[in-house]
Chain A
Amino acid sequence: MTALTAPLAAIGRPVLAALALIGRIALFAARVVGHMVRPPFYPREFLQALLQIGWFSLPVVGLTAVFTGGALALQIYSGGARFNAEAVVPSIVAIGMVRELGPVLGGLMVAARVASSIAAEIGTMKVTEQIDALVTLSTDPIKYLAVPRVLAATLAVPVLVAVGDAIGIAGGWLVGVNRLGFNSTVYLQNTVDFLESWDVVSGLWKGAAFGFIVALMGCYHGMNSGRGAQGVGAATKAAVVGASVLILATNYLLTEVFFSA
Protein backbone atom coordinates (compact mmCIF):
# COMPACT_ATOMS: atom_id res chain seq x y z
CA MET A 1 0.00 0.00 0.00
CA THR A 2 2.69 2.46 0.97
CA ALA A 3 4.56 1.48 -2.16
CA LEU A 4 1.54 2.59 -4.13
CA THR A 5 0.78 5.78 -2.24
CA ALA A 6 4.35 6.94 -1.68
CA PRO A 7 4.82 8.33 -5.21
CA LEU A 8 1.46 10.04 -5.00
CA ALA A 9 2.40 11.55 -1.66
CA ALA A 10 5.70 12.68 -3.14
CA ILE A 11 3.81 14.57 -5.83
CA GLY A 12 1.00 15.71 -3.58
CA ARG A 13 3.08 17.18 -0.80
CA PRO A 14 4.92 19.85 -2.82
CA VAL A 15 1.73 20.66 -4.73
CA LEU A 16 -0.13 21.22 -1.48
CA ALA A 17 2.78 23.26 -0.13
CA ALA A 18 2.80 25.41 -3.27
CA LEU A 19 -0.96 25.96 -3.04
CA ALA A 20 -0.65 26.91 0.62
CA LEU A 21 2.14 29.36 -0.24
CA ILE A 22 0.04 30.95 -2.99
CA GLY A 23 -2.80 31.27 -0.51
CA ARG A 24 -0.59 32.93 2.08
CA ILE A 25 0.87 35.35 -0.47
CA ALA A 26 -2.63 36.24 -1.70
CA LEU A 27 -3.68 36.89 1.89
CA PHE A 28 -0.60 39.03 2.43
CA ALA A 29 -1.36 40.98 -0.75
CA ALA A 30 -4.90 41.60 0.45
CA ARG A 31 -3.60 42.88 3.79
CA VAL A 32 -1.10 45.19 2.08
CA VAL A 33 -3.79 46.63 -0.20
CA GLY A 34 -6.14 47.00 2.78
CA HIS A 35 -3.51 48.98 4.65
CA MET A 36 -2.85 51.23 1.64
CA VAL A 37 -6.15 53.00 2.08
CA ARG A 38 -6.16 53.29 5.87
CA PRO A 39 -4.02 55.77 7.85
CA PRO A 40 -1.48 56.24 9.30
CA PHE A 41 0.60 56.76 6.17
CA TYR A 42 4.37 57.01 6.07
CA PRO A 43 5.27 59.54 3.35
CA ARG A 44 8.97 59.62 4.27
CA GLU A 45 9.32 55.86 3.91
CA PHE A 46 7.37 56.05 0.64
CA LEU A 47 9.67 58.69 -0.85
CA GLN A 48 12.74 56.74 0.23
CA ALA A 49 11.35 53.61 -1.41
CA LEU A 50 10.55 55.58 -4.56
CA LEU A 51 14.14 56.75 -4.75
CA GLN A 52 15.55 53.28 -4.10
CA ILE A 53 13.23 51.39 -6.42
CA GLY A 54 12.67 53.96 -9.15
CA TRP A 55 15.60 56.26 -9.52
CA PHE A 56 18.39 53.82 -8.71
CA SER A 57 16.95 51.20 -11.08
CA LEU A 58 17.18 53.51 -14.07
CA PRO A 59 20.73 52.53 -15.15
CA VAL A 60 19.97 48.80 -15.06
CA VAL A 61 16.70 49.16 -16.91
CA GLY A 62 18.22 51.56 -19.43
CA LEU A 63 21.17 49.27 -20.22
CA THR A 64 18.90 46.27 -20.56
CA ALA A 65 16.64 48.19 -22.93
CA VAL A 66 19.32 49.61 -25.21
CA PHE A 67 20.97 46.24 -25.85
CA THR A 68 17.63 44.50 -26.25
CA GLY A 69 16.40 47.09 -28.75
CA GLY A 70 19.62 46.76 -30.73
CA ALA A 71 19.52 42.96 -30.80
CA LEU A 72 15.83 43.03 -31.71
CA ALA A 73 16.55 45.25 -34.74
CA LEU A 74 19.23 42.83 -35.96
CA GLN A 75 16.99 39.79 -35.49
CA ILE A 76 13.97 41.28 -37.18
CA TYR A 77 16.09 42.51 -40.05
CA SER A 78 17.57 39.08 -40.71
CA GLY A 79 14.19 37.40 -40.13
CA GLY A 80 12.39 39.95 -42.26
CA ALA A 81 14.91 39.47 -45.07
CA ARG A 82 13.48 35.97 -45.64
CA PHE A 83 10.15 37.58 -46.64
CA ASN A 84 11.65 40.65 -48.26
CA ALA A 85 10.13 42.58 -45.40
CA GLU A 86 13.14 44.40 -43.95
CA ALA A 87 11.07 47.58 -43.85
CA VAL A 88 9.07 46.30 -40.89
CA VAL A 89 12.07 46.62 -38.56
CA PRO A 90 11.14 50.00 -37.02
CA SER A 91 7.52 49.15 -36.29
CA ILE A 92 8.18 45.61 -35.01
CA VAL A 93 11.00 46.82 -32.79
CA ALA A 94 8.69 49.43 -31.33
CA ILE A 95 5.74 47.10 -30.87
CA GLY A 96 7.90 44.30 -29.46
CA MET A 97 9.59 46.68 -27.11
CA VAL A 98 6.57 48.47 -25.66
CA ARG A 99 4.22 45.51 -25.50
CA GLU A 100 6.53 42.74 -24.34
CA LEU A 101 10.23 43.24 -23.87
CA GLY A 102 10.15 46.61 -22.15
CA PRO A 103 7.80 45.54 -19.36
CA VAL A 104 9.01 41.94 -19.05
CA LEU A 105 12.76 42.56 -19.10
CA GLY A 106 12.34 45.72 -17.04
CA GLY A 107 10.25 43.77 -14.55
CA LEU A 108 12.79 40.95 -14.37
CA MET A 109 15.70 43.35 -13.88
CA VAL A 110 13.79 45.14 -11.13
CA ALA A 111 13.01 41.73 -9.61
CA ALA A 112 16.71 40.94 -9.51
CA ARG A 113 17.62 44.30 -8.08
CA VAL A 114 14.71 45.22 -5.87
CA ALA A 115 13.01 42.01 -4.72
CA SER A 116 16.39 40.78 -3.49
CA SER A 117 17.30 43.93 -1.62
CA ILE A 118 13.85 44.30 -0.05
CA ALA A 119 13.85 40.65 1.06
CA ALA A 120 17.38 40.90 2.45
CA GLU A 121 16.67 44.14 4.27
CA ILE A 122 13.36 43.09 5.79
CA GLY A 123 14.68 39.57 6.44
CA THR A 124 17.60 41.01 8.39
CA MET A 125 15.17 43.19 10.31
CA LYS A 126 13.20 40.08 11.11
CA VAL A 127 16.13 38.02 12.39
CA THR A 128 17.52 40.90 14.44
CA GLU A 129 14.10 41.41 16.08
CA GLN A 130 13.60 44.83 14.49
CA ILE A 131 10.17 43.73 13.26
CA ASP A 132 9.23 42.72 16.81
CA ALA A 133 10.56 46.06 18.01
CA LEU A 134 8.32 47.88 15.51
CA VAL A 135 5.30 46.06 16.91
CA THR A 136 6.17 46.96 20.48
CA LEU A 137 6.49 50.58 19.35
CA SER A 138 2.87 50.43 18.16
CA THR A 139 3.83 50.44 14.50
CA ASP A 140 2.35 47.91 12.10
CA PRO A 141 5.22 46.37 10.11
CA ILE A 142 2.98 45.87 7.07
CA LYS A 143 2.02 49.52 7.08
CA TYR A 144 5.49 50.82 7.84
CA LEU A 145 7.61 48.46 5.73
CA ALA A 146 5.46 46.77 3.09
CA VAL A 147 2.96 49.45 2.04
CA PRO A 148 5.52 52.16 1.13
CA ARG A 149 7.62 49.70 -0.88
CA VAL A 150 4.73 48.07 -2.70
CA LEU A 151 3.15 51.42 -3.51
CA ALA A 152 6.45 52.89 -4.67
CA ALA A 153 7.24 49.91 -6.88
CA THR A 154 3.74 49.85 -8.40
CA LEU A 155 4.09 53.50 -9.37
CA ALA A 156 7.77 53.52 -10.28
CA VAL A 157 8.02 50.46 -12.52
CA PRO A 158 5.61 51.80 -15.18
CA VAL A 159 7.76 54.92 -15.36
CA LEU A 160 10.86 52.76 -15.64
CA VAL A 161 9.12 50.77 -18.38
CA ALA A 162 8.29 53.97 -20.26
CA VAL A 163 11.90 55.10 -20.06
CA GLY A 164 13.05 51.61 -21.05
CA ASP A 165 10.68 51.62 -24.03
CA ALA A 166 12.13 54.87 -25.30
CA ILE A 167 15.71 53.73 -24.77
CA GLY A 168 14.99 50.36 -26.38
CA ILE A 169 13.48 52.01 -29.44
CA ALA A 170 16.50 54.30 -29.57
CA GLY A 171 18.76 51.23 -29.43
CA GLY A 172 16.90 49.76 -32.39
CA TRP A 173 17.16 53.04 -34.25
CA LEU A 174 20.92 53.26 -33.60
CA VAL A 175 21.47 49.81 -35.02
CA GLY A 176 18.99 50.37 -37.82
CA VAL A 177 20.64 53.56 -38.99
CA ASN A 178 24.29 52.64 -38.41
CA ARG A 179 24.33 48.94 -39.24
CA LEU A 180 21.31 48.20 -41.39
CA GLY A 181 21.34 51.26 -43.59
CA PHE A 182 17.99 52.77 -42.63
CA ASN A 183 17.35 56.43 -43.20
CA SER A 184 17.04 58.05 -39.79
CA THR A 185 13.92 60.11 -40.57
CA VAL A 186 12.15 57.22 -42.26
CA TYR A 187 12.97 54.90 -39.36
CA LEU A 188 11.51 57.30 -36.79
CA GLN A 189 8.49 58.05 -38.99
CA ASN A 190 7.74 54.33 -39.29
CA THR A 191 8.05 53.89 -35.54
CA VAL A 192 5.56 56.66 -34.83
CA ASP A 193 3.10 55.75 -37.57
CA PHE A 194 2.57 52.13 -36.64
CA LEU A 195 2.60 52.43 -32.87
CA GLU A 196 -0.84 52.65 -31.25
CA SER A 197 -1.30 54.20 -27.87
CA TRP A 198 -2.78 50.98 -26.46
CA ASP A 199 0.48 49.22 -27.34
CA VAL A 200 2.28 51.56 -24.98
CA VAL A 201 -0.42 51.81 -22.31
CA SER A 202 -0.88 48.04 -22.04
CA GLY A 203 2.85 47.74 -21.41
CA LEU A 204 2.67 50.32 -18.67
CA TRP A 205 -0.16 48.42 -17.00
CA LYS A 206 2.02 45.34 -17.13
CA GLY A 207 4.79 47.35 -15.53
CA ALA A 208 2.50 48.36 -12.68
CA ALA A 209 1.52 44.74 -12.10
CA PHE A 210 5.15 43.62 -12.17
CA GLY A 211 6.19 46.36 -9.76
CA PHE A 212 3.48 45.26 -7.36
CA ILE A 213 4.65 41.65 -7.65
CA VAL A 214 8.32 42.47 -7.11
CA ALA A 215 7.84 44.50 -3.94
CA LEU A 216 5.18 42.16 -2.62
CA MET A 217 7.43 39.11 -2.98
CA GLY A 218 10.35 40.95 -1.41
CA CYS A 219 8.27 42.01 1.57
CA TYR A 220 6.51 38.67 1.99
CA HIS A 221 9.66 36.56 1.94
CA GLY A 222 11.57 39.06 4.08
CA MET A 223 8.90 39.11 6.76
CA ASN A 224 8.71 35.33 6.74
CA SER A 225 12.45 34.85 6.72
CA GLY A 226 13.85 31.90 8.67
CA ARG A 227 16.35 32.38 11.44
CA GLY A 228 19.93 33.50 11.00
CA ALA A 229 21.96 34.49 7.95
CA GLN A 230 20.88 31.30 6.21
CA GLY A 231 17.23 32.24 6.67
CA VAL A 232 17.82 35.64 5.08
CA GLY A 233 19.69 34.03 2.18
CA ALA A 234 16.85 31.61 1.55
CA ALA A 235 14.29 34.42 1.77
CA THR A 236 16.22 36.50 -0.77
CA LYS A 237 16.44 33.63 -3.21
CA ALA A 238 12.75 32.79 -2.79
CA ALA A 239 11.81 36.42 -3.40
CA VAL A 240 13.77 36.73 -6.65
CA VAL A 241 12.71 33.35 -8.04
CA GLY A 242 9.10 33.83 -6.95
CA ALA A 243 8.90 37.34 -8.38
CA SER A 244 10.45 36.29 -11.70
CA VAL A 245 8.14 33.32 -12.22
CA LEU A 246 5.10 35.34 -11.18
CA ILE A 247 6.07 38.13 -13.57
CA LEU A 248 6.29 35.72 -16.51
CA ALA A 249 3.02 34.00 -15.62
CA THR A 250 1.24 37.30 -15.08
CA ASN A 251 2.65 38.59 -18.35
CA TYR A 252 1.06 35.71 -20.22
CA LEU A 253 -2.27 36.23 -18.47
CA LEU A 254 -2.29 39.97 -19.11
CA THR A 255 -1.34 39.46 -22.75
CA GLU A 256 -4.30 37.09 -23.10
CA VAL A 257 -6.59 39.65 -21.50
CA PHE A 258 -5.26 42.62 -23.47
CA PHE A 259 -4.74 41.18 -26.94
CA SER A 260 -6.57 37.87 -27.42
CA ALA A 261 -9.82 39.52 -28.53
Chain B
Amino acid sequence: MITLTGVTKTFGKNRVLRGVDLTIPSGQSMVIIGGSGTGKSVLLKCILGLVRHDGGTITLDGQDVTTADRDAFLARFGMLFQGGALFDSLRVWENVAFRLMRGALKRPKQEAREIAIEKLRRVGLRPEVADQFPAELSGGMQKRVGLARAIAAEPEIIFFDEPTTGLDPIMAGVINDLIREIVTEMGATAMTITHDMSSVRAIADRVAMLHDGVIQWTGTVGEMDATPDPYVQQFIHGRATGPIAAVR
Protein backbone atom coordinates (compact mmCIF):
# COMPACT_ATOMS: atom_id res chain seq x y z
CA MET B 1 0.00 0.00 0.00
CA ILE B 2 1.24 3.45 -0.92
CA THR B 3 0.14 6.33 1.30
CA LEU B 4 0.68 10.00 0.65
CA THR B 5 -0.05 12.54 3.36
CA GLY B 6 0.14 16.27 2.82
CA VAL B 7 2.72 15.99 0.03
CA THR B 8 3.91 19.34 -1.26
CA LYS B 9 6.27 20.26 -4.10
CA THR B 10 7.24 23.69 -5.36
CA PHE B 11 9.39 24.55 -8.39
CA GLY B 12 10.56 28.12 -7.88
CA LYS B 13 7.32 30.10 -7.54
CA ASN B 14 5.25 27.32 -9.07
CA ARG B 15 3.42 25.52 -6.25
CA VAL B 16 2.65 22.30 -8.06
CA LEU B 17 1.57 19.99 -5.23
CA ARG B 18 -0.08 21.69 -2.27
CA GLY B 19 -0.89 18.88 0.11
CA VAL B 20 -1.75 15.66 -1.67
CA ASP B 21 -3.47 12.97 0.43
CA LEU B 22 -3.93 9.67 -1.34
CA THR B 23 -3.92 5.97 -0.59
CA ILE B 24 -3.29 3.30 -3.19
CA PRO B 25 -4.19 -0.13 -1.80
CA SER B 26 -2.12 -3.13 -2.89
CA GLY B 27 -3.37 -5.07 -5.86
CA GLN B 28 -5.60 -2.25 -7.03
CA SER B 29 -5.61 -0.10 -10.09
CA MET B 30 -5.68 3.59 -9.27
CA VAL B 31 -6.14 6.10 -12.06
CA ILE B 32 -5.18 9.74 -11.65
CA ILE B 33 -7.00 12.23 -13.82
CA GLY B 34 -6.55 15.97 -14.04
CA GLY B 35 -5.76 18.74 -16.49
CA SER B 36 -2.37 18.87 -18.14
CA GLY B 37 0.25 20.66 -16.09
CA THR B 38 -1.46 19.96 -12.77
CA GLY B 39 1.44 17.90 -11.47
CA LYS B 40 0.39 14.33 -12.13
CA SER B 41 3.77 13.30 -13.50
CA VAL B 42 5.51 15.14 -10.67
CA LEU B 43 3.39 13.17 -8.21
CA LEU B 44 4.59 9.83 -9.61
CA LYS B 45 8.20 11.05 -9.60
CA CYS B 46 7.87 12.09 -5.96
CA ILE B 47 6.77 8.59 -4.99
CA LEU B 48 9.73 7.09 -6.87
CA GLY B 49 12.12 9.61 -5.34
CA LEU B 50 13.11 11.01 -8.75
CA VAL B 51 11.88 14.36 -7.49
CA ARG B 52 12.32 15.14 -3.79
CA HIS B 53 9.07 16.41 -2.28
CA ASP B 54 9.29 19.47 -0.04
CA GLY B 55 6.80 18.47 2.63
CA GLY B 56 4.49 15.69 3.78
CA THR B 57 5.24 11.98 3.84
CA ILE B 58 5.09 9.15 1.34
CA THR B 59 5.14 5.61 2.65
CA LEU B 60 5.22 2.21 0.99
CA ASP B 61 3.85 -0.53 3.25
CA GLY B 62 4.33 1.79 6.21
CA GLN B 63 7.95 2.64 5.46
CA ASP B 64 8.96 6.17 4.52
CA VAL B 65 10.19 6.14 0.93
CA THR B 66 12.94 8.68 1.61
CA THR B 67 14.61 6.43 4.19
CA ALA B 68 13.94 3.06 2.52
CA ASP B 69 16.82 1.10 0.98
CA ARG B 70 16.86 2.50 -2.57
CA ASP B 71 17.78 -0.69 -4.43
CA ALA B 72 15.23 -2.88 -2.71
CA PHE B 73 12.63 -0.14 -3.07
CA LEU B 74 13.16 0.45 -6.78
CA ALA B 75 13.32 -3.27 -7.54
CA ARG B 76 9.60 -3.42 -6.69
CA PHE B 77 8.67 -0.77 -9.26
CA GLY B 78 8.18 -0.47 -12.97
CA MET B 79 7.56 2.85 -14.65
CA LEU B 80 6.37 3.92 -18.07
CA PHE B 81 7.46 7.50 -18.66
CA GLN B 82 5.20 9.98 -20.41
CA GLY B 83 7.71 10.41 -23.25
CA GLY B 84 8.79 6.77 -23.33
CA ALA B 85 12.31 7.62 -22.13
CA LEU B 86 13.89 4.83 -24.16
CA PHE B 87 17.68 4.65 -24.24
CA ASP B 88 18.43 5.63 -27.80
CA SER B 89 21.90 4.09 -27.82
CA LEU B 90 20.43 0.64 -27.19
CA ARG B 91 18.33 -1.60 -29.43
CA VAL B 92 14.67 -2.08 -28.63
CA TRP B 93 15.12 -5.49 -27.07
CA GLU B 94 18.06 -4.26 -24.98
CA ASN B 95 15.81 -1.50 -23.70
CA VAL B 96 13.09 -3.94 -22.75
CA ALA B 97 15.53 -6.39 -21.16
CA PHE B 98 17.59 -3.67 -19.46
CA ARG B 99 16.81 -4.82 -15.94
CA LEU B 100 17.27 -8.47 -16.90
CA MET B 101 20.83 -7.99 -18.11
CA ARG B 102 22.39 -6.42 -15.05
CA GLY B 103 22.14 -6.39 -11.29
CA ALA B 104 20.18 -8.78 -9.12
CA LEU B 105 17.92 -10.03 -11.93
CA LYS B 106 20.77 -10.73 -14.37
CA ARG B 107 20.25 -13.74 -16.63
CA PRO B 108 21.83 -15.11 -19.82
CA LYS B 109 21.60 -12.82 -22.83
CA GLN B 110 19.58 -15.23 -24.94
CA GLU B 111 17.01 -15.71 -22.21
CA ALA B 112 16.75 -11.96 -21.61
CA ARG B 113 16.19 -11.45 -25.31
CA GLU B 114 13.44 -14.06 -25.43
CA ILE B 115 11.66 -12.45 -22.50
CA ALA B 116 11.96 -9.08 -24.22
CA ILE B 117 10.44 -10.40 -27.43
CA GLU B 118 7.60 -11.98 -25.48
CA LYS B 119 6.91 -8.67 -23.70
CA LEU B 120 7.01 -6.84 -27.02
CA ARG B 121 4.41 -9.23 -28.35
CA ARG B 122 2.19 -8.48 -25.37
CA VAL B 123 2.20 -4.78 -26.23
CA GLY B 124 1.38 -5.57 -29.85
CA LEU B 125 4.85 -5.30 -31.39
CA ARG B 126 6.33 -7.80 -33.84
CA PRO B 127 9.67 -9.54 -33.10
CA GLU B 128 11.30 -7.68 -36.03
CA VAL B 129 11.11 -4.51 -33.96
CA ALA B 130 13.46 -6.02 -31.37
CA ASP B 131 16.63 -5.27 -33.30
CA GLN B 132 15.71 -1.73 -34.32
CA PHE B 133 16.75 1.40 -32.50
CA PRO B 134 14.13 3.51 -30.70
CA ALA B 135 14.66 6.45 -33.07
CA GLU B 136 13.45 4.26 -35.96
CA LEU B 137 10.02 3.76 -34.36
CA SER B 138 6.91 5.93 -34.37
CA GLY B 139 5.88 7.71 -31.16
CA GLY B 140 3.16 5.19 -30.43
CA MET B 141 5.54 2.27 -30.93
CA GLN B 142 8.10 3.89 -28.63
CA LYS B 143 5.40 4.24 -26.01
CA ARG B 144 4.64 0.54 -26.23
CA VAL B 145 8.32 -0.38 -25.99
CA GLY B 146 8.42 1.74 -22.84
CA LEU B 147 5.46 -0.20 -21.56
CA ALA B 148 7.15 -3.51 -22.35
CA ARG B 149 10.24 -2.32 -20.46
CA ALA B 150 8.13 -1.31 -17.46
CA ILE B 151 6.59 -4.76 -17.15
CA ALA B 152 9.62 -6.83 -18.23
CA ALA B 153 10.81 -7.75 -14.75
CA GLU B 154 7.23 -8.27 -13.54
CA PRO B 155 7.33 -5.65 -10.79
CA GLU B 156 4.67 -5.59 -8.09
CA ILE B 157 3.94 -1.88 -8.47
CA ILE B 158 3.68 -0.28 -11.89
CA PHE B 159 3.24 3.36 -12.80
CA PHE B 160 1.93 4.26 -16.22
CA ASP B 161 2.22 7.89 -17.26
CA GLU B 162 -0.28 8.42 -20.09
CA PRO B 163 0.06 4.92 -21.57
CA THR B 164 -2.45 5.47 -24.40
CA THR B 165 -1.64 9.04 -25.44
CA GLY B 166 -0.59 9.01 -29.08
CA LEU B 167 -2.02 5.56 -29.82
CA ASP B 168 -4.84 4.76 -32.23
CA PRO B 169 -8.09 3.59 -30.58
CA ILE B 170 -7.48 -0.08 -31.33
CA MET B 171 -3.97 -0.06 -29.88
CA ALA B 172 -5.25 1.96 -26.93
CA GLY B 173 -7.77 -0.81 -26.32
CA VAL B 174 -5.00 -3.43 -26.42
CA ILE B 175 -2.97 -1.48 -23.87
CA ASN B 176 -5.97 -0.91 -21.59
CA ASP B 177 -6.66 -4.64 -21.58
CA LEU B 178 -3.02 -5.36 -20.89
CA ILE B 179 -2.92 -3.05 -17.87
CA ARG B 180 -6.13 -4.56 -16.53
CA GLU B 181 -4.66 -8.03 -17.06
CA ILE B 182 -1.44 -7.19 -15.24
CA VAL B 183 -3.43 -6.06 -12.22
CA THR B 184 -5.86 -8.98 -12.12
CA GLU B 185 -3.47 -11.77 -13.18
CA MET B 186 -0.18 -10.72 -11.65
CA GLY B 187 -1.84 -9.04 -8.68
CA ALA B 188 0.20 -5.92 -9.31
CA THR B 189 -0.59 -2.51 -7.94
CA ALA B 190 -1.02 0.00 -10.75
CA MET B 191 -1.11 3.75 -10.79
CA THR B 192 -2.04 5.19 -14.16
CA ILE B 193 -2.21 8.76 -15.34
CA THR B 194 -4.54 9.33 -18.24
CA HIS B 195 -6.75 11.88 -19.95
CA ASP B 196 -8.57 9.23 -21.87
CA MET B 197 -11.97 8.53 -20.28
CA SER B 198 -12.40 5.20 -22.05
CA SER B 199 -9.07 4.20 -20.54
CA VAL B 200 -10.28 5.24 -17.10
CA ARG B 201 -13.32 3.04 -17.41
CA ALA B 202 -11.29 0.09 -18.71
CA ILE B 203 -8.46 0.24 -16.18
CA ALA B 204 -9.59 1.80 -12.94
CA ASP B 205 -10.67 0.30 -9.68
CA ARG B 206 -10.47 3.74 -8.15
CA VAL B 207 -10.13 7.19 -9.64
CA ALA B 208 -8.52 10.27 -8.10
CA MET B 209 -8.72 13.72 -9.55
CA LEU B 210 -5.79 16.08 -9.07
CA HIS B 211 -6.59 19.77 -9.32
CA ASP B 212 -4.92 22.88 -7.92
CA GLY B 213 -2.28 20.76 -6.21
CA VAL B 214 -4.67 18.63 -4.16
CA ILE B 215 -6.74 15.51 -4.68
CA GLN B 216 -10.04 17.16 -5.48
CA TRP B 217 -12.07 13.99 -5.50
CA THR B 218 -11.54 10.26 -5.19
CA GLY B 219 -13.87 7.29 -5.55
CA THR B 220 -14.68 4.25 -7.65
CA VAL B 221 -15.46 4.39 -11.35
CA GLY B 222 -19.17 3.94 -10.60
CA GLU B 223 -19.13 6.80 -8.14
CA MET B 224 -17.33 8.96 -10.67
CA ASP B 225 -20.30 9.15 -13.03
CA ALA B 226 -22.76 9.79 -10.23
CA THR B 227 -20.77 12.37 -8.26
CA PRO B 228 -22.13 15.89 -8.25
CA ASP B 229 -18.54 17.23 -7.91
CA PRO B 230 -18.41 19.99 -10.55
CA TYR B 231 -14.67 19.46 -11.21
CA VAL B 232 -15.12 15.79 -12.00
CA GLN B 233 -18.23 16.41 -14.07
CA GLN B 234 -16.51 19.08 -16.15
CA PHE B 235 -13.47 16.86 -16.69
CA ILE B 236 -15.24 13.64 -17.66
CA HIS B 237 -17.57 15.43 -20.02
CA GLY B 238 -14.84 17.64 -21.42
CA ARG B 239 -16.75 20.90 -20.99
CA ALA B 240 -14.96 24.17 -21.71
CA THR B 241 -16.92 25.96 -19.00
CA GLY B 242 -16.96 25.10 -15.31
CA PRO B 243 -14.79 25.50 -12.23
CA ILE B 244 -11.63 24.40 -14.09
CA ALA B 245 -10.27 27.31 -16.09
CA ALA B 246 -9.62 26.51 -19.75
CA VAL B 247 -6.60 28.80 -19.73
CA ARG B 248 -3.86 27.52 -17.44
Contact A128 B83, CB 8 Å, known A135-B74, A136-B50:
yes
Indicate if A40 sits at the interface (CB-CB under 8 A): yes
Residue tally, chain B, CB below 8 Å to A: 23
A→B interface (CB under 8 Å) = 40, 42, 125, 128-130, 132-139
Closest-by-CB residue of A relative to B100 is A137
Measured between beta carbons, the chain B residues less than 8 angstroms from A40 are 102-103
B98 touches A137 (CB 8 A): yes
Indicate if B195 sits at the interface (CB-CB under 8 A): no
Interface hits, B102-121 → A, CB 8 Å: 102-104
Additional A-B contacts beyond A133-B85, A139-B102 (12; CB < 8 A): A40-B102, A40-B103, A42-B102, A128-B83, A129-B82, A132-B81, A133-B81, A135-B48, A136-B77, A137-B99, A137-B149, A138-B75
Q: Mark B84-105, 1 if CB is under 8 A from A, else 0.
A: 0111100000000011001110
A136 touches B74 (CB 8 A): yes
Closest-by-CB residue of A relative to B75 is A138
Query: Binding site of B, secondary structure by majority: helix, strand, loop or mixed?
Result: mixed
Per the bound structure, the CA–CA distance linking A22 and B81 in Å amounts to: 33
Interface hits, B10-55 → A, CB 8 Å: 45, 48-50
Per the bound structure, the CA–CA distance linking A72 and B161 in Å amounts to: 60
B85 touches A128 (CB 8 A): yes
Q: Taking the nearest CB of chain B, how far is it from the CB of A231, in angstroms?
A: 14
A129 touches B83 (CB 8 A): yes
Q: Taking the nearest CB of chain B, how far is it from the CB of A154, in angstroms?
A: 21
Q: Taking the nearest CB of chain B, how far is it from the CB of A101, in angstroms?
A: 34
A138 touches B86 (CB 8 A): no
Measured between beta carbons, the chain B residues less than 8 angstroms from A135 are 48-50, 74
A138 touches B79 (CB 8 A): no
Per the bound structure, the CA–CA distance linking A134 and B45 in Å amounts to: 13
Indicate if B71 sits at the interface (CB-CB under 8 A): yes
Partner of A138, one of B49, B50, B103, B149: B103
A138 touches B74 (CB 8 A): yes
A130 touches B103 (CB 8 A): no
B48 touches A136 (CB 8 A): yes
A132 touches B103 (CB 8 A): no
Measured between beta carbons, the chain B residues less than 8 angstroms from A129 are 81-83, 85
A130 touches B87 (CB 8 A): yes
Q: Taking the nearest CB of chain B, how far is it from the CB of A114, in angstroms?
A: 16
Per the bound structure, the CA–CA distance linking A133 and B78 in Å amounts to: 10
Closest-by-CB residue of B relative to A48 is B89
Contact A130 B85, CB 8 Å, known A136-B77, A139-B102:
yes
A139 touches B81 (CB 8 A): no
B87 touches A138 (CB 8 A): no
Measured between beta carbons, the chain A residues less than 8 angstroms from B45 are 132
Q: Taking the nearest CB of chain A, how far is it from the CB of B192, in angstroms?
A: 16
Closest-by-CB residue of A relative to B79 is A136
Per the bound structure, the CA–CA distance linking A134 and B50 in Å amounts to: 11
A130 touches B102 (CB 8 A): no
20 A–B contacts from the bound complex (CB under 8 Å)? A40-B103, A128-B85, A129-B81, A129-B85, A130-B85, A130-B87, A132-B81, A133-B79, A133-B81, A133-B85, A136-B48, A136-B50, A136-B74, A136-B78, A136-B79, A137-B74, A137-B99, A137-B149, A138-B99, A139-B103
Per the bound structure, the CA–CA distance linking A134 and B78 in Å amounts to: 11
A130 touches B50 (CB 8 A): no
Measured between beta carbons, the chain B residues less than 8 angstroms from A42 are 102
Interface hits, B125-172 → A, CB 8 Å: 149
Closest-by-CB residue of B relative to A42 is B102
Counting from the closest, the 3 A-B pairs by CB-CB distance are A129-B85, A133-B85, A136-B79
